[in-house]
Amino acid sequence: MAYWLMKSEPDVFSFDDLVAKTERGEVEEWHGVRNYAARNNMKAMAVGDQAFFYHSNIGKEIVGIMTIVAPAHPDSTGELNAKGEVVWECVDVQSVRPFPRPVTLAEIKATEALSELELVKLSRLSVSKVSDTEWKLLCKMGGL
């Protein structure tokens, strides 16, 4: 199983919004990603992979864990290319559990063991990889 980190601006779509949807038995299509590196990460995801939900701009913290419930498929909001193909893809997600204690970007940056985290190194990438050791440490910092 692989681990990931996905960003969302909470005033657009927050972890609480995802929890509410999940409780209603719905899934969330992670649409709107328009960056090839981020898209490729989503194409590499498998059902059952887990991902941190990071609130960008407002909060700047990891607030919970979600899971991938559908592999990459055409983004319903994606435009077509000249050949009529859907260029952009996305996965579907559901919430797993919130962090008892959100882990802030400032804390992450202050942690030596997380200096290689893609969130830090590739700050503009909205869907990034998290290693097994980074995942475990971040869960611990989040109170799980």
Q: What are the residues binding DNA (CB under 7 A)?
A: 7, 9, 34-37, 56-57, 60, 105-106, 109, 122-126
3-state secondary structure of 126: coil
**CA of 90: how far to CAs of 31, 46, 73, 108, in Å?**
6, 12, 6, 27
Distance CA 65, CA 143 (A): 12
Min separation Cβ 131 and DNA, Å: 19
Comparison of 36 and 143: residue with beta carbon closer to DNA: 36
Q: Which of 43/48 has CB closer to DNA?
A: 43
Closest approach of Cβ 122 to DNA, in Å?
Answer: 6
Helix (H) or strand (E) holding 26: none
CA neighbours closer than 13 Å in the CB half-sphere of residue 72: 17
Does an H or E element contain 18, and which? helix 15-23
Task: Provide the minimum distance between the beta carbon of 35 and DNA in the complex, in angstroms, as a whole number.
Answer: 5
Place of tokens 């719905």: 26
Nearer to DNA, 27 or 87 (CB): 87
Q: By C-beta, is 60 or 73 nearer to DNA? A: 60
Question: Closest separation between CB of residue 116 and DNA, Å?
Answer: 13
